[in-house]
Chain A
């Protein structure tokens, strides 16, 4: 194979590899896994992928600006910790408060990155460490069982046969896609990731866009925290969202968004989240331990980054 065809194949793989991988895994499971084709199983897979998918959408935007948001898992736990405190005032109030907490967290990270010029990895690392601390203080380190049926419906309910969690993730994905493709904000964030100096000189509101991106990521992480808490039926600030930042980054990268910024692939990110979920499910159904799933995930990440290598170096 000449180097040109190799490059072209790689480009193709980065573009469509994640869809191919999901298709292959689905086919494999249809043939080799019992009950895979059942509706119940489909629901389970999608519902389990939903929180990661929601977080990854925000992560994809941040990565598009050549940034990274490590705080998402901790923001989820803050959201979870706040819910039992405000559930008395109604599920809507609790959800709103939790989302506001996510917005504020994003505002904080965004301020550090955009206005103080702190590197994203450091700025959001601060909140990764501090955020969970705050969550534990709010919740006094306790796991709280939740009983409000309206709130729990977010995690277990259906609308027209579609699980609410899946619906929420789907709507958010469509909105994110619209944001990236059809709004000035979306085009500006991609341009900033592609060449920040040029974007600044072109008069783009660089700081505002950067803050906006982290705010969106924070809000989406809070939504994921709400959904995961509702599904769990309990507020668990200790464990909720642990290592979520890594799962989200994996979904984004596997979905074909380069870590070097300047490009955001929303559908790819959704499929990246699905792929990682399917890998886990497949291995578990075939009685392989969770450690095996981790190793397979590692292999997929390396493959995705390898495929992306040539393009980003251009």
Chain B
């Protein structure tokens, strides 16, 4: 994007803000200024303080020290609504809308156009919503309930809603994490428009490409402190990563972008064979096999059936046809417990909804799936349990105050490690990993990638689903490409390149539905 005049006064500013939580210093003397028409990247590992800073800006938390200035005036937003009224809107990773209400109602929630009698003016509301959303690439019937849209489109609705409330500042927390490339393009167009109209944007993302494409300036947080703040252009990528990680640049160069190693020794006979999986109009004759020691990548766009395939293998997706064989033995369809017992583990995509048990401790989350094995006659053996927990907390370097800490208090990366530990504790033969590194910090990401490598070397069969091409290209021994619920290509060895994968995804298919 074009450079903007940065001499204008900041629209939103924090000065010397400190925020403490029991046991942690989340923000330590943080200062940060946002000018009109600026797209400002806010980056840092998980636990660096990004979320806390956003919550201070939006009135969810109040600073312990320091001040927040809005248009030069010190303000205290006591609750989110006050920040919203001041023109600060936030788009969260998880869409915060009402799924069962219509798309139009969601856009105008709380400020519906009224008729003279004071009733909701549906026709005006619907036509305004239709017009507004067209600018965001959404051409669906606005009277449909919101949940009938895909996650990406829902996020666009949230964005449209935010901007149409006369926002002067829009904070976006990983806006592209659930968008398809086409939707990402639309989002960038919208960003351009906002930028041109003088709206300031705080852009939180882990994706380097995006940052360099859309952001003017960057603030890097690490351990609750600002370690760098300035224009983004001219800051080499490798330096940005090293600022975030606090590691030496040289070291990163040597280690490469991902933490995957060389290819693995793979046995010939498949351990798991999923054949002709079909169901719910979202999977059509998908066949995937995984050999011991092999990392099979599943590539494809959102909605191509990647997650559905993984879920179908463990029995968590209703199938009309197809079979799953583990070591030659068929698994009963739809019996998750049986699949888990047989040694298949699914690390689900949605950590919060399908992964952690928020109010249980780290210990209890780790042993959850392995509990029956650790417990003769259903009685828990504490020493055995604690030993397992200790082993995996050490091996995966899970950062928690103690095993008794609630898992919901951990950072995203550590929560993901807890979930990996939960599955590894069951001693699985097949690991199905659905976006294992999404939304976690760079350091944890590298650790998870290295772990996947290590597990494959130990002889586990791994199915790796990832939206990040480089992760698949570096990590997988073989890549199966899905489109519209069907397999459209398979690449292995040196044929696994970015161009080939993209070509397979984008090729004109004859099995389109």
A203 and B354 CA atoms in complex are apart in Å by 12
A180 and B269 CA atoms in complex are apart in Å by 44
The reply to whether B356 and A202 contact each other, CB–CB distance below 8 Å, is no
A198 with B355, Cβ < 8 A, contacts A184-B378, A185-B378, A314-B408 known: yes
Asked if A182 is at the interface of the complex by the 8 Å CB criterion, the answer is yes
Asked if A291 is at the interface of the complex by the 8 Å CB criterion, the answer is no
A203 and B335 CA atoms in complex are apart in Å by 8
Q: Please, what's the 1-or-0 string for B363-382, where 1 marks a CB less than 8 Å from any CB in chain A?
A: 01001110110010011100
Cross-interface CB contact of B371 among A3, A188, A195, A262, cutoff 8 Å = A188
25 residue pairs from A and B, CB less than 8 Å apart: A3-B62, A183-B378, A183-B379, A184-B379, A188-B371, A190-B360, A194-B357, A194-B358, A195-B353, A195-B357, A197-B353, A198-B353, A198-B354, A198-B357, A199-B368, A200-B336, A201-B314, A201-B316, A201-B336, A204-B369, A205-B337, A262-B359, A263-B359, A314-B358, A314-B408
Q: Please, what's the 1-or-0 string for A173-191, where 1 marks a CB less than 8 Å from any CB in chain B?
A: 0000000001111011011
A198 and B353 CA atoms in complex are apart in Å by 7
In the complex, which residues of chain A have a beta carbon less than 8 angstroms from the beta carbon of B354?
A: 195, 197-198, 201
- Indicate the member of B341, B364, B368, B369 with the most A CB atoms within 10 Å: B368
Name which residue of chain B comes closest to A202, CB basis: B369
The reply to whether A202 and B422 contact each other, CB–CB distance below 8 Å, is yes
In the complex, which residues of chain B have a beta carbon less than 8 angstroms from the beta carbon of A314?
A: 358, 408
Name which residue of chain B comes closest to A207, CB basis: B337
Cross-interface CB contact of A204 among B337, B339, B346, B375, cutoff 8 Å = B337
Cross-interface CB contact of A183 among B336, B367, B380, cutoff 8 Å = B380
Task: Name A residues whose Cβ lies closer than 8 Å to a Cβ of B.
Answer: 3, 8, 182-185, 187-188, 190-191, 194-195, 197-205, 262-263, 314
B422 to chain A, nearest CB (A): 7
The reply to whether A198 and B360 contact each other, CB–CB distance below 8 Å, is no
The reply to whether A198 and B356 contact each other, CB–CB distance below 8 Å, is yes
A263 and B364 CA atoms in complex are apart in Å by 12
A200 with B355, Cβ < 8 A, contacts A183-B380, A184-B378 known: no
B residues 301-356 touching A (CB-CB < 8 Å): 314, 316, 336-337, 339-341, 346, 348, 353-356
B316 to chain A, nearest CB (A): 6
A182 and B379 CA atoms in complex are apart in Å by 6
The reply to whether B357 and A203 contact each other, CB–CB distance below 8 Å, is no
In the complex, which residues of chain A have a beta carbon less than 8 angstroms from the beta carbon of B379?
A: 182-184
Name which residue of chain A comes closest to B368, CB basis: A202
A314 and B352 CA atoms in complex are apart in Å by 13
In the complex, which residues of chain A have a beta carbon less than 8 angstroms from the beta carbon of B367?
A: 187
A188 to chain B, nearest CB (A): 7
A232 to chain B, nearest CB (A): 37
A203 and B372 CA atoms in complex are apart in Å by 11
A195 and B408 CA atoms in complex are apart in Å by 12
In the complex, which residues of chain A have a beta carbon less than 8 angstroms from the beta carbon of B359?
A: 194, 262-263
Name which residue of chain B comes closest to A197, CB basis: B354
The reply to whether A203 and B378 contact each other, CB–CB distance below 8 Å, is no
Given contacts A184-B378, A198-B356, A200-B336, 18 further A-B contacts (CB under 8 A): A3-B62, A182-B380, A183-B379, A184-B375, A187-B368, A188-B371, A190-B360, A191-B364, A198-B354, A199-B357, A201-B355, A202-B340, A202-B422, A203-B337, A203-B340, A203-B341, A262-B358, A314-B408
A200 and B339 CA atoms in complex are apart in Å by 12
In the complex, which residues of chain A have a beta carbon less than 8 angstroms from the beta carbon of B314?
A: 201
A185 and B22 CA atoms in complex are apart in Å by 33
A203 and B343 CA atoms in complex are apart in Å by 11
A182 and B372 CA atoms in complex are apart in Å by 12
- Indicate the member of A201, A204, A263 with the most B CB atoms within 10 Å: A201
Cross-interface CB contact of B360 among A3, A185, A194, A205, cutoff 8 Å = A194
Q: Which 3 A-B pairs have the closest CB atoms?
A: A203-B340, A194-B357, A202-B369
The reply to whether B348 and A191 contact each other, CB–CB distance below 8 Å, is no
B216 to chain A, nearest CB (A): 35
A120 and B348 CA atoms in complex are apart in Å by 27
In the complex, which residues of chain B have a beta carbon less than 8 angstroms from the beta carbon of A203?
A: 336-337, 339-341, 369
In the complex, which residues of chain B have a beta carbon less than 8 angstroms from the beta carbon of A263?
A: 359
In the complex, which residues of chain A have a beta carbon less than 8 angstroms from the beta carbon of B340?
A: 202-203
Name which residue of chain A comes closest to B78, CB basis: A3
B residues 367-417 touching A (CB-CB < 8 Å): 367-369, 371-372, 375, 378-380, 408
Name which residue of chain B comes closest to A190, CB basis: B360
A201 with B346, Cβ < 8 A, contacts A184-B375, A191-B357 known: yes
In the complex, which residues of chain B have a beta carbon less than 8 angstroms from the beta carbon of A199?
A: 357, 368
A194 and B354 CA atoms in complex are apart in Å by 11
B63 to chain A, nearest CB (A): 12
The reply to whether A200 and B380 contact each other, CB–CB distance below 8 Å, is no
B residues 470-500 touching A (CB-CB < 8 Å): none
In the complex, which residues of chain B have a beta carbon less than 8 angstroms from the beta carbon of A190?
A: 357, 360, 364
Q: Please, what's the 1-or-0 string for B108-121, where 1 marks a CB less than 8 Å from any CB in chain A?
A: 00000000000000
B361 to chain A, nearest CB (A): 11
A278 and B364 CA atoms in complex are apart in Å by 36
The reply to whether B380 and A184 contact each other, CB–CB distance below 8 Å, is yes
Name which residue of chain A comes closest to B359, CB basis: A262
In the complex, which residues of chain B have a beta carbon less than 8 angstroms from the beta carbon of A202?
A: 340, 368-369, 422
B431 to chain A, nearest CB (A): 14
B71 to chain A, nearest CB (A): 26
A182 and B359 CA atoms in complex are apart in Å by 18
The reply to whether A187 and B371 contact each other, CB–CB distance below 8 Å, is yes
In the complex, which residues of chain A have a beta carbon less than 8 angstroms from the beta carbon of B364?
A: 187, 190-191
Cross-interface CB contact of B380 among A187, A195, A262, cutoff 8 Å = A187
In the complex, which residues of chain A have a beta carbon less than 8 angstroms from the beta carbon of B337?
A: 203-205
A195 and B365 CA atoms in complex are apart in Å by 11
A184 and B379 CA atoms in complex are apart in Å by 6
In the complex, which residues of chain B have a beta carbon less than 8 angstroms from the beta carbon of A197?
A: 353-354
The reply to whether A191 and B378 contact each other, CB–CB distance below 8 Å, is no
Name which residue of chain B comes closest to A3, CB basis: B62
In the complex, which residues of chain B have a beta carbon less than 8 angstroms from the beta carbon of A201?
A: 314, 316, 336, 346, 348, 354-355
A181 to chain B, nearest CB (A): 8
In the complex, which residues of chain A have a beta carbon less than 8 angstroms from the beta carbon of B380?
A: 182-184, 187
A184 and B378 CA atoms in complex are apart in Å by 5
In the complex, which residues of chain B have a beta carbon less than 8 angstroms from the beta carbon of A205?
A: 337
A3 and B55 CA atoms in complex are apart in Å by 15
Name which residue of chain B comes closest to A185, CB basis: B378
In the complex, which residues of chain A have a beta carbon less than 8 angstroms from the beta carbon of B408?
A: 314
B335 to chain A, nearest CB (A): 9
In the complex, which residues of chain A have a beta carbon less than 8 angstroms from the beta carbon of B355?
A: 195, 198, 201
In the complex, which residues of chain B have a beta carbon less than 8 angstroms from the beta carbon of A185?
A: 378
Name which residue of chain B comes closest to A312, CB basis: B359
In the complex, which residues of chain A have a beta carbon less than 8 angstroms from the beta carbon of B339?
A: 203
Name which residue of chain A comes closest to B380, CB basis: A182
A185 and B379 CA atoms in complex are apart in Å by 9
In the complex, which residues of chain B have a beta carbon less than 8 angstroms from the beta carbon of A187?
A: 364, 367-368, 371, 380
The reply to whether B372 and A184 contact each other, CB–CB distance below 8 Å, is yes
The reply to whether B358 and A195 contact each other, CB–CB distance below 8 Å, is yes
In the complex, which residues of chain B have a beta carbon less than 8 angstroms from the beta carbon of A195?
A: 353-358
